[in-house]
A and B are shown apart, each in its own frame.
Chain A
């Protein structure tokens, strides 16, 4: 099974870092004020980041 696909909508991201903090497998990191995907292969598709983002800025697409 391939890892879920993550999409960060840069125009919406305000850099609060909630998604980074609550991702259980450290897939995401902050690059200044922008969330970025650094370890896509570690994503387990738990949806925590999408669920908690206050800004509709991150989406998790599973197969």
Chain B
């Protein structure tokens, strides 16, 4: 049966601003299905973003939302969670927002293991501002600022998050629509910092420059290059060249930041 997205969307906001075929719409739908599966209460949930095309997402959802400064979503989300630990806090944003200008806030939220779910839409580019390269643009690929090919090595967001201390880290793509909601729901249920990287398509600023003739071609590339984590574990580094490892990549239990902070408050009050 058709999923009732309307119950979670702010009325009168569609059609959304994203370009034809932009994967951010697919992520938005996945996020709403995940929030539905977790029975999140609209008044006890906050969706936070920075700036960018992906960061426009909270504007569509009928929950508490905060559209903040570029790269600062994790910092604002940390403030909300510390002030109101009973709330479910989600962050949504792009690769530029999350790991370029916002990289510092991102790694420290991971290090603290604060209980939030960060959905990072990695479309390999700064979409909103006209296709400048980001730390996630693949080497050799073209952006408006790398017309002869990008010479910079690429961030592996999942490894970055695991290294920094996130306790739930997963990856999927805009092609794997049902996996998007399953992983986000797992992230919401996990207590601690959850990072879900969604490899996302930006046909306008990335696809066009990098010889994808259509958004469908970008989707097919995701389909062909994705390898589930269990299969990848049996493959060599060579075999994994150019592949996208999907699924849950890391999960551990570690003290959560708000609880640790409450202990400080209790000690200071002489409890």
Contact = CB atoms under 8 A, between A and B. Distances in A.
B148 interface: no
A14 interface: yes
A38 B216 CA distance: 20
Contacts of A22: 219
Nearest to A11: B15
A50 to B, nearest CB: 6
Nearest to A61: B2
A21 B29 CA distance: 19
A62 interface: yes
Tell me the interface secondary structure of chain A in the complex: loop
Given A16-B20, A54-B23, A61-B1, A21 B177 contact: no
A16 to B, nearest CB: 3
Q: Which of A22, A33, A56 has the most CB of B within 10 A?
A: A56
B22 interface: yes
Contacts of B3: 50
Interface of B: 1-3, 5, 9, 14-16, 18-26, 29, 177-178, 214-216, 219
Given A14-B20, A50-B2, 8 more contacts: A12-B15, A14-B15, A51-B29, A54-B18, A55-B25, A56-B9, A57-B15, A61-B1
